[in-house]
Amino acid sequence: MRALTVEEARERAATVQEPAYRLEFAFTGDEQTFATVSTIRFRATPGGSTWVDVKPAELRSVTLNGESLDVGRLAEGRFPLEALRAENELVVEASMAYSFDGEGMQRSVDAADDRVYLYGMSSLESAPRYFACFDQPDLKAPYTVAVTAPEDWIVLGNGAATRTAPGHWELAETKPLSTYFVTLVAGPYHQIQGEHDGIPLSLACRQSLAPALDRDAEDLFTVTGQAFDEYHRLFGYRYPFGEYHQVFVPDFNLGAMENPGCVTFTDRLVFRSAVTDAERSTRARIVVHEMAHMWFGDTVTMKWWNDLWLNESFAEYMAHRVSHDATDHPGHWTDFGFVRKWWGLQADQRSSTHPVAADAVKDARGSLDDFDGISYAKFGNADLGEFIAMLSAAGAENLPHWSEQWLRTSGVDTLRAERTATGIRLHRDRPDHAERPHQLTVAGYDEAGQATSVDVLLDQDQVDVALDPAVALVIPDAGDDTWAKIRLDADTLDRLPKVLLRIADGTTRAVIWNSLRDSVATADLDPRKALAILLEALPAEDSDIAIGSLLRWAEDRLIGVALPYEPYRGELANALTSRLSGAPAGSSLQLAVARGTIAMTGDVDLLRGWLAGTGVPAGLEIDTDLRWSLVLRLVRLGEFGAADVDAELTRDRSTEGVIHAARCRAALADGKEAAWARITAESGIGVNELFATCEGFWHPGQAEATAPYVERFFTDIAGTAELRFGMALQLATTRAFPRYAVEPRTIELAERLLADDNVAPSIRRTVADQSDDLRRAVRARRAFG
């Protein structure tokens, strides 16, 4: 179907004014479809023409100002509207298909009890999959909603919901909302109600997750209240959307969505098994991030998708700041360095890099492709110019110039330190002609890990820094204050293994590790040296955030990618086994190291023993999810087969168990063909089960079993655009990419696909990103043998 362009959006916004919606849903039909009636009242230019967006299973009737129109005129999700009046009423009746990819009206069946759960996801082209609308962010409108559903269901949405009769619900009129914020949640959800500062609150999830949500409700309500208090203090403007529901929904393909009044989260954030402190901190930050959108994104919304970064970067900053300042959870800025900034730096070095604030030239679907680490990290609409003007009016100086330097350019500068006879010379290497100034600190560390810091304004390509050149380590941007790649000098790299252990500041350690990880990726650092530093650092690293991030990098980008899988897997496994013996019993750190040990070890007796409950380190609980990790590793080692996976699923007959089993079955050496068929040909698979299948399929220890599928990826992946949509298509393509096939041949196959204009743009964009990473891995292997 055609994607909306910015020119079309502007044209429609000039024709249509002041829309208002009445939506009626009936969820009492079959398992495939539901009925909707969308009534839209709007003003328009008399005599003008436009279209309404709707993507039905069956369009039953369209009535404009009392006149029935030919439903056969629907084409590519657009129904034309002509001879408009000053005041108009449009009524669209349709049968709509339930979604299975997490967008539109998602229908999921819980494997634990066969209960059905629904939720609406409207973001970026998804709203017309469950109601007719003018689907663009600048045509905000109030909504009223009516729902008919089974009598044992509850209904939640953007407006306060009232049950008017058994199985019948009315939702109060909302404030003006963009279509992509509209949601509706319906099903036999477990709901916990609360209140904070006069704001009605609730939490909800599947019934099978009720015990886990009940355990965590106090923490979630506390974080919510703390964040509300801080946002009210910061903004001086109270939360405007009435009730505030937080619903943990199944088969959600993102982390969360900021629907006003009814935020939806992936129900993976309801923890049924033990998790690390880092994971609890991350969940708190997601809660705070989505709440920030209630002001920036929901109250004030961008006019077009090119300014989506305004929403996300603001919420990302506020999430870390408010979580640090107001909540009881630790480690937020450490997470920013190790996780979020690392994500953005990778995105900014791929061929798909783009300015933070791009020009409004892409269509809506193309703008979705830019929803990445660069974008992140009054009831009306605004654009970048208006945002800069408001900040300038509030007293900010020279923002237009700063905006051109930092927001209208792409790519990332490299900062490196050179030791001279009298001090340190800091260099700025630019990938383009943009003049991006950097305000930062340069720190020198002695052998004991004690720092001397110098503040620096780097507004030219080199500047001298008054710092003793004899210090053990020289760390540019030690406070993680700017956006740049950092390169460490040879002396610093040589002394790093010993001194790194003594640096107390987690932020500085994150800067160092981002430099090492990026240097490996760009073939500036021998990956064997990076691994050696990691092995040296493991015994002393006490941050579960750092451990988790570094082990994910080692598993995804280092061992089996930049380095051959063997013998380096064994070296890391041995170091993790040693670190585990010294981790505090029952600690978050112990759990993080245990997960890494399971993923890397080749010790079958250890894995089988832990499953049987023998030899388990004191304080470590082998709970349901950790059991599945053990099963997965035994499958990958060839020690477990399909019967063992089935036996574990018998123990865990939950939706989560089904997802874990899908990952394990895809990891079976003799299960690859069945898994590949699910990835490339099955349309009804839920997104979490799909993602798990992709994740289980490829592994560097199974190169022989997966070799026939490397070329098949490039011939088969294009067809998946007929099976799934939006983020589900992107994320499945990412996970299904053969990233462990580190060979020039894989890059050749990727380039052939990228040259085929018949392949969906989002697939080509994703393959381009993944092949960029693969190209760098090939370069690293060549550079260092």
Does residue 5 belong to any structural domain of this protein? yes
Task: State how beta strands 300-302 and 380-382 pair.
Answer: parallel
Distances in whole angstroms, Cα of residue 200 to Cα of each of 85, 262, 298, 506, 582:
41, 11, 19, 38, 46
What average pLDDT score do residues 83-112 get? 97
Query: Predicted confidence band at 374 (pLDDT cuts at 50, 70, 90)?
Result: very low
- Kindly report, residue by residue over 499-538, the tens digit of the pLDDT: 998 999 999 999 999 999 999 999 999 999 999 999 999 9
Q: Phi first, then psi: what are they for 592, rounded to 5°?
A: -60, -45
Q: Which residues contact 776 (CB under 8 A, 6 or more apart)?
A: 521, 522, 523
How would you classify residue 31: left for phi > 0, otherwise alpha for psi between -120 and 50, otherwise beta? alpha
Compute how many other C-beta atoms are within 10 angstroms of the C-beta atom of residue 540. 12
pLDDT band for position 377 (50/70/90)?
Answer: very low
* pLDDT higher than 90, residue 299: no
Helix-helix angle 726-736:687-697, to 10 degrees = 20
Give the residue numbers spanning the domain of 83.
1-188
Type of residue found at 278: A
Residue 593 reports pLDDT greater than 70 = yes
Check if the beta carbon of residue 442 is closer than 8 Å to that of residue 454: yes
DSSP 8-state code for residue 717: G
Per-residue pLDDT averaged across 146-153, rounded? 97
pLDDT of residue 376: 39
Q: Which residue has the higher pLDDT, 258 or 349?
A: 258
- Strand 199-205 with 244-249, pairing: parallel
Buried b (16+ CB within 10 A) or exposed e, 331-351: bbbbbbbbbbbbebbbbbbbe
Cβ atoms within 10 Å of 476's Cβ, excluding its own? 30
639 catalytic? Reply is no
557-573: average pLDDT: 95
Q: Report which DSSP code applies to 340.
A: I
Mean pLDDT of all residues in the chain? 91
User: What proportion of the chain, given as a percentage, has pLDDT over 90?
Assistant: 81
Beta carbons within 8 Å of 298's beta carbon, 6+ residues apart? 177, 181, 241, 258, 260
Residue 357 falls within a domain, yes or no?
A: no
Q: Answer whether residue 383 shows pLDDT above 60.
A: no
Rounded average pLDDT over 2-26 = 94
Residue 147, H or E segment: strand 143-148
620-640 burial by CB neighbour count: b if 16+ within 10 A, else e? bebebbbbbbbbbbbbbbeeb
13 in any annotated domain: yes
The answer to whether the CB of 100 falls within 8 A of the CB of 107 is: yes
Structure tokens at 720: 């998946």
User: Domain holding 12: CATH number?
Assistant: 2.60.40.1730
CB 323 within 8 A of CB 284: yes
> Residues with Cβ < 8 Å from 641, sequence gap 6 or more?
635, 668, 670
Q: Pick the catalytic residue from 93, 243, 258, 290.
A: 290
Region 652-672: mean pLDDT is 97
Cβ 146 vs Cβ 169: under 8 Å:
yes
- Provide the pLDDT for residue 375: 41
φ, ψ dihedrals at 410, nearest 5°: -120, 170
Mean pLDDT to the nearest integer, 27-54: 96
Q: What is the pLDDT of residues 171-183, one digit of tens each?
A: 999 999 999 999 9
- pTM (2 d.p.): 0.91
Q: Which of 15-19, 308-312, 631-635, 770-774 has the lowest mean pLDDT?
A: 308-312
- pLDDT at position 403 is 58
What is the chain's percent helix, strand, coil content, to nearest 5? 45, 20, 35
| Gap between the Cα atoms of 402 and 228, Å rounded | 31
Mean per-residue pLDDT, 357-366: 54
Helix/strand/coil (H/E/C) assignment for every residue in 419-479: ECCCCEEEEEECCCCCCCCEEEEEEEECCCCCEEEEEEEECCCEEEECCCCCCCEEEECCC
109-122 pLDDT tens trace: 999 999 999 999 99
Report the alpha-carbon distance of residue 262 to residue 391 in Å, rounded.
Answer: 30
In a domain, residue 59? The reply is yes
Q: How many domains does the chain have?
A: 1
Per-residue pLDDT band for 407 (boundaries 50, 70, 90) equals low
Q: What is the pLDDT of residue 351?
A: 65
**What pLDDT, on a 0 to 100 scale, did the predictor assign at position 123?**
84
Domain assignment of residue 21, yes or no: yes
Buried-exposed string 10-19: b where 16+ CB fall within 10 A, e elsewhere: eebbebbeeb
Burial of 687 (0-12, 13-18, 19+ CB in 10 A): buried
pLDDT digits (tens, 9 = 90+) for 488-505: 999 999 999 999 989 999
- Residue 610 located in a structural domain: no
pLDDT surpassing 60 at residue 363: no
For residue 469, pLDDT beyond 80: yes
User: What are the tens digits of pLDDT across the range 43-84?
Assistant: 999 999 999 999 999 999 999 999 999 999 999 999 999 999
Q: Is residue 62 part of a domain?
A: yes
Give the pair of three-digit tokens for residue 671: 């299960």
**Residue 354 binned pLDDT confidence (cut-offs 50, 70, 90):** very low
Q: Nearest Cα to 778, choosing from 751, 749, 752, 739?
A: 739
Strands 199-205 and 154-157, bridge-based pairing = unpaired
Residue among 496, 503, 522 at smallest CA distance from 431 = 522
Element (H, E) at 91: strand 87-97
Residue 39 confidence class, pLDDT cut points 50, 70, 90: very high
Question: Who wins on pLDDT, 299 or 456?
Answer: 456
- What is the number of other CB atoms lying within 10 angstroms of the CB of residue 131? 31
126: in domain: yes
Strand ranges of the sheet holding 473-476, from the earlier edge strand across to the other edge: 451-458, 438-445, 473-476
